Structure 1
Amino acid sequence: MSNGLQRLGIDPLTRLPSAPSPVNPKGWTTLETVRALAADWDRCNSDETFPADRVAALHDAGALAGFVDVASPERTDALVDVLRAIGGADLSLGRVFEGHVNATQLISAYGDDTQRRALARNLEAGHVLGVWNTEPTPGLAIQPNATGRWTLDGSKSFATGAGHLDGILVTARDPAGGKQLVLVPIADEASRADLSVWQVRGMRGTCSGLFDFSDLSVGPEGIIGAPDVYEIEPRFSAGAWRFTAVQLGAIEALVRHLRDHLVQTGKRDDPIQRARFATCLTETRSAGVWVRRAAHLAETQALEAIPFVLMTRGIVEEAGLKTMEAAARSVGTASFFAGSRIDRITRDLSLYLRQPVPDQARDRASAAWLDDDCWGDDRWW
């Protein structure tokens, strides 16, 4: 399963310690191991199936269990850099990992002590989690039944990892109309996933299909928190910083591949090419500053994290669009061949940047800055 670790000379059967700072048999931290894995993965295009082997390698590296608590600045920085490294190698894997981290943090934040202990056991066993919110009409509902358990009715769409995850956090409408977080074991329910609807050019490895929950039963242990906790701010909106870090990693990888092309082909002596590359470099480095600051604001649950993260989404999007266009213009036809890393990154990133309501996100952020009268302090920066 963990071919990446084996290439690095690490026994994948050796269990690595988890949070706060896992260390593998080579004496590396989780971040160092993930970076080495990512460098290995970046040398070959992944196929378009669910990246199960790579997820297993992340578990062996301690990454699946290592970021439940990132309250300290050091742990926040480590998560930023792990997300960047994974995103630079495989955006589908980055999307799966980001969703897993989101799920573990939500369970830790809103679950009870018993649920948190169960989470720790599941992570030690290598379980992979996710969060699904998007749904087709009329949406997912949950009803109590005569056995003291709860029955689900409905589906989720754009369900990342459908048919491949062990457990999933979903939002379900309860009898009172509230939005209840429910943790559903789905390791044995792969037949409920419909991946035929996931007909896209990029991000195919996320397997983001339709999943039918009808008649599935969960017990009280699956009811996470009170109704409507999922949308408590600033966690709900500010948590978007994680996918910007994954996207940033892909943009940084694209800049590296563009740089290698310019050097290897002798185009580095062309002033037009250098000017184009300079734009990519400044856009990407600037986006990196925004992403890291957004992460620290979000993980400390600062209220000002919301507009900062919303604006960061737009900053990263612009960096990605400009870098993809520059790479296509500089490399030319060769960048569109199926075996090209530039082509793979561009296909995946073009889709991943289409997060919900990007224009509205930037508008909300801009309005917050226009309404704010505290420009005398440094809280925005």
Structure 2
Amino acid sequence: MTTSTLPAKDSFSQGSTDLDRSRAVAPLTIKSDVEALEAARRFAESIAGEAVARDRERRLPHAEIEAFTATGLWGITVPPSHGGAGVSHVTLAEVVAIVSEADPSIGQIPQNHYCLVDAVRLIGDARQQAFFFAEVLAGKRIGNAVSETGTPTSKAMHTRIARDADGSWRLNGRKAYSTGALFAHWVPVAATDDAGRQWLAYVPRDSAGLHVIDDWDGFGQRTTASGTVLADNVRVDALHVLPRDRLFSPPTIHGPFAQLLHAAIDLGIARAALRDLHAWLTQKARPWADSGVTRASDDPLTLSKVGALVVRLHAAEALLTRGALLLDAARECPETGAQGVTAASIAVAEAKILTTELALDAATALIEFGGSQSALRSHALDRHWRNARVHTVHDPVRWKYHAVGSHWLNGAEPARHASL
């Protein structure tokens, strides 16, 4: 098997001392893909031991996120032209999978950071790129306040932004599922102006009128703090506002980039479940009485299903790499235009299908073959299924099957948004 070697408890708003933007962690400088992978393995090893306790107690990983930032891994997507490593998508996906195998909540927290750093690369002007890339390399984290509840669909929004007479902007609205915002120095808020145009306002976390509320009570991914963000007449400097509609028209890699990271998180969950399955079958589980064997690891029906899971693991890893390579190609050769973006989108959709289904099935098999003991809360093996089920509802695979089939049969272009 391939491995990577509630009610609100906290509420922070303007004036909070829990996150001082002037005291951001001074991170190490990562210069290559090799260094990034080595740093990810070291960090994953440092956080794995307390993953069960963090999940059980819903202990938010403030110290762990500071240590994560200090590794330099949050800056690895900054382009070399601005002092970053500009790692490949193959490396980025593996970094996320390695950390997510150790603790998928911590693995998910920088997902939006990476996406919104790449948004600066895609749609920011020269001044915005210089400013935000420098912020990231200095250890500043970027969160997320994009999704809303109570709208007709998950892509609709009520949050509004309007220009002031002095050229700045004013922001008002309520956001949900704001993964990363509680730990962030910058909180990008998606909003619509009176003309219907969409914008991304990168708001300092300590801004007057911005409130980040830890009211996330999901049964999985419990410590992502994916709660609510409220914007009450928040003033935003014009330098910090980017045209969000340009992320998707003309087509860019923003959608498949986001999906690649989600697939990598699911791969990490699957690896963790299979790691524990290996340990249980070789060390703790008993064979079924009718099997005629003395070890659970020799049970012929167990071997058949485990073999199928291992094959699917390797297939998922291969498809994730394939999708990442096509993203690399689309990024490095933008002249391919919509064709290159489409190829990456479909390939990443295929990877997301496999990683989603593998994470769920591996987590279920762990309990099935682990036997009655594996269901005891003291072992916390249920966390893999809970994490997989909660995380994989982000982007339903039924629509990814549709996109793949429609493209293969009819040459249809995939939807252009952050979920495909």
Do both proteins adopt the same fold according to a TM-score greater than 0.5, normalized to the shorter chain? yes
Which residue number in structure 2 is paired with residue 17 of structure 1? 29
Pairs within 5 Å for 1:61-76: 61-69=71-79, 75-76=88-89
Pairing 1:94–2:107 present: yes
Range moving further from structure 2, 158-167 or 230-239: 230-239
Q: Is the 2:27–2:139 contact (alpha carbons within 8 Å) kept by the matching residues of 1?
A: no
Q: Is the 2:269–2:387 contact (alpha carbons within 8 Å) kept by the matching residues of 1?
A: no
Q: How many residues are paired up?
A: 353
Pairing 1:272–2:306 present: no
Which residue number in structure 1 is paired with residue 7 of structure 2? none
Amino acid at match of 1:88: E
Cα distance change of structure 1 residues 263 and 186 upon mapping to structure 2, 3 Å threshold? same
Which residue number in structure 1 is paired with residue 316 of structure 2? 287
Structure 1 consecutive aligned stretches of length 4 or more whose deviation exceeds 6 Å: 70-74
Pairing 1:334–2:356 present: no
Q: Which of 31, 43, 46 pairs up with 2:49?
A: 43
Shift of residue 46 of structure 1?
4.7
Pairs within 5 Å for 1:151-170: 151-170=170-189
Range moving further from structure 2, 142-151 or 294-303: 294-303
SS in 1 for 2:175: strand
User: Over residues 121-174 of structure 1, what are the superposed CA-to-partner deviations in whole Å (9 max), with x where a residue is unaligned?
Assistant: 312332111233212346111001123210001111111134331112222102
Pairing 1:149–2:168 present: yes
Shift of residue 64 of structure 1?
0.7
Which residue number in structure 1 is paired with residue 277 of structure 2? 258
Which residue number in structure 2 is paired with residue 10 of structure 1? none
Pairs within 5 Å for 1:328-367: 328-340=367-379, 342-367=381-406
- Measured in 2, the distance between the counterparts of 1:14 and 1:178 equals 37
Amino acid at match of 2:301: I
Shift of residue 79 of structure 1?
0.9
Cα distance change of structure 1 residues 113 and 261 upon mapping to structure 2, 3 Å threshold? same
User: TM-score when scaled to structure 1?
Assistant: 0.85
Range moving further from structure 2, 342-351 or 90-99: 342-351
Which residue number in structure 1 is paired with residue 122 of structure 2? 109
- Measured in 2, the distance between the counterparts of 1:167 and 1:193 equals 11
Pairing 1:129–2:142 present: yes
Cα distance change of structure 1 residues 74 and 111 upon mapping to structure 2, 3 Å threshold? closer
SS in 1 for 2:232: coil
- Measured in 1, the distance between the counterparts of 2:179 and 2:225 equals 6
- Measured in 1, the distance between the counterparts of 2:223 and 2:208 equals 19
Range moving further from structure 2, 290-299 or 70-79: 70-79
Q: CA RMSD in A?
A: 2.5
SS in 2 for 1:163: helix
Amino acid at match of 2:29: P
Range moving further from structure 2, 358-367 or 135-144: 135-144
Shift of residue 339 of structure 1?
4.1
- Measured in 1, the distance between the counterparts of 2:327 and 2:349 equals 11
Shift of residue 68 of structure 1?
2.6
- Measured in 2, the distance between the counterparts of 1:192 and 1:131 equals 13
Q: Which of 215, 237, 251 pairs up with 2:255?
A: 237
Structure 1: unaligned runs, 5 residues or longer: 1-12, 23-27, 374-381
Shift of residue 15 of structure 1?
4.6
Which residue number in structure 2 is paired with residue 316 of structure 1? 355
User: Over residues 16-60 of structure 1, what are the superposed CA-to-partner deviations in whole Å (9 max), with x where a residue is unaligned?
Assistant: 214x428xxxxx823112112212322332512432222222222
Counting aligned pairs with the same residue, the percent is: 22
Q: Name the structure, 1 or 2, with higher relative contact order (CA <8 Å, separation 6+).
A: 2
Shift of residue 372 of structure 1?
3.9
Which residue number in structure 2 is paired with residue 25 of structure 1? none
